[in-house]
């Protein structure tokens, strides 16, 4: 994008916001929501903070119209941007809103995924208590208890609590975590247990290395592309 165009973006977004207000006043919320979402997409790479605000506004418009599926999709965009900007306190609240809506529309499997996202965000905030509470509260969601998501989260929390980086890495490298939205998958791969991620199991007596084999190769692979 040309520099001049980038400088004009905030002005363009401001005009779109004014237009959306007029659409709302004239009783055309759909058009208002479309305008706000378009503005969010326009400015996302230049001013993510503003984009979050626009996506949240769009979600509110949809929610007021009881179009919850569209609302939750926009909240999801806001949550991912907040995570990308490492604004974890706000991200945790945003994901909780998503989860509440998915629960309301009875999309329970997505609630499980949002619980994983929440737990990762809370652990990056160094708030183990909030992460554990998240899992505990999710037991009330039909089918969560006994799901692979629940089992993985219990294992993750146990590893984190015991400062076992191996166990944390094992969970966060599993397909369940790796194939989440990229922003959440990255949170998993960079999660360090309290105490700086000293690998407990690495303390076991090392296996003898065959002559000529590179000793540190396995360790390097494990951390390729992230901590885990």
CA distances, 117 to each of 24, 27, 33, 94, 199 (Å): 33, 36, 26, 11, 24
Q: pLDDT higher for 6 or 48?
A: 48
Residues 213, 218, 220, 225, CA torsion sign: positive
Angle at 79 between CA 88 and CA 122, to 5 degrees: 35
> Which pTM value belongs to this model?
0.83
Residue 218: its pLDDT value, please? 38
| Cβ neighbour number for residue 156 with a 10 Å cutoff | 25
d(CA 135, CA 129): 10
Distance CA 228, CA 211 (A): 28
CA distances from 92 to 43, 83, 127, 184, 226 (A): 23, 9, 11, 12, 22
pLDDT for 215 beyond 90? no
Do 213 and 178 meet the contact criterion of CB atoms below 8 Å apart? no
Average pLDDT, the chain: 88
Quick check: 216 pLDDT over 50? no
SS3 197: coil
Average pLDDT (168-197) is: 93
Please report, for residues 100, 123, 170, the alpha-carbon distance to residue 147 in angstroms, rounded to integers and kept in the order given.
19, 21, 18
Do the beta carbons of residue 49 and residue 85 sit within 8 Å?
A: yes
219 pLDDT higher than 50 = no
DSSP 12-56: HHHHHHHHHHHHHHTT-HHHHHHHHHHHHHHHTTT-HHHHHHHHH
Q: Given this model, what pLDDT does residue 36 score? A: 96
Comparing 33-37, 47-51, 118-122, 203-207, the range with the smallest average pLDDT is 203-207
Q: Which residues of 3-13 are buried (b: 16+ CB within 10 A; e: fewer)?
A: eeeeeebeeeb
């Amino acid at each position: 994008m040309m520099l001049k165009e980038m400088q004009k973006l905030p002005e363009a977004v401001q005009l779109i916001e004014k237009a959306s207000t007029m659409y709302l006043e004239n009783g055309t919320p759909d058009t208002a929501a479309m305008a706000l979402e378009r503005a969010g997409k326009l400015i996302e790479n230049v001013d993510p903070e503003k984009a979050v605000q626009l996506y949240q506004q769009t979600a509110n418009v949809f929610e007021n119209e009881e179009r919850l599926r569209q609302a939750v999709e926009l909240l999801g965009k806001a949550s991912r941007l907040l995570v990308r900007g490492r604004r974890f306190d706000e991200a945790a609240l945003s994901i909780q809103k998503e989860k509440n809506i998915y629960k309301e529309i009875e999309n329970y499997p997505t609630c499980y995924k949002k619980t994983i996202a929440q737990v990762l965000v809370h652990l990056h905030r160094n708030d183990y208590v909030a992460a554990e509470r998240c899992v505990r509260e999710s037991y009330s969601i039909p089918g969560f208890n006994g799901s692979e998501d629940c089992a993985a989260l219990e294992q993750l929390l146990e590893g984190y609590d015991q400062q076992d980086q191996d166990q944390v890495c094992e969970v966060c490298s599993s397909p369940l975590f790796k194939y989440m939205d990229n922003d959440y998958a990255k949170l998993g791969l960079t999660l360090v247990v309290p105490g700086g991620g000293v690998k407990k199991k690495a303390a076991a007596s090392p296996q003898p290395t065959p002559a000529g084999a590179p000793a540190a190769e396995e360790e390097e692979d494990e951390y390729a592309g992230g901590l885990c």
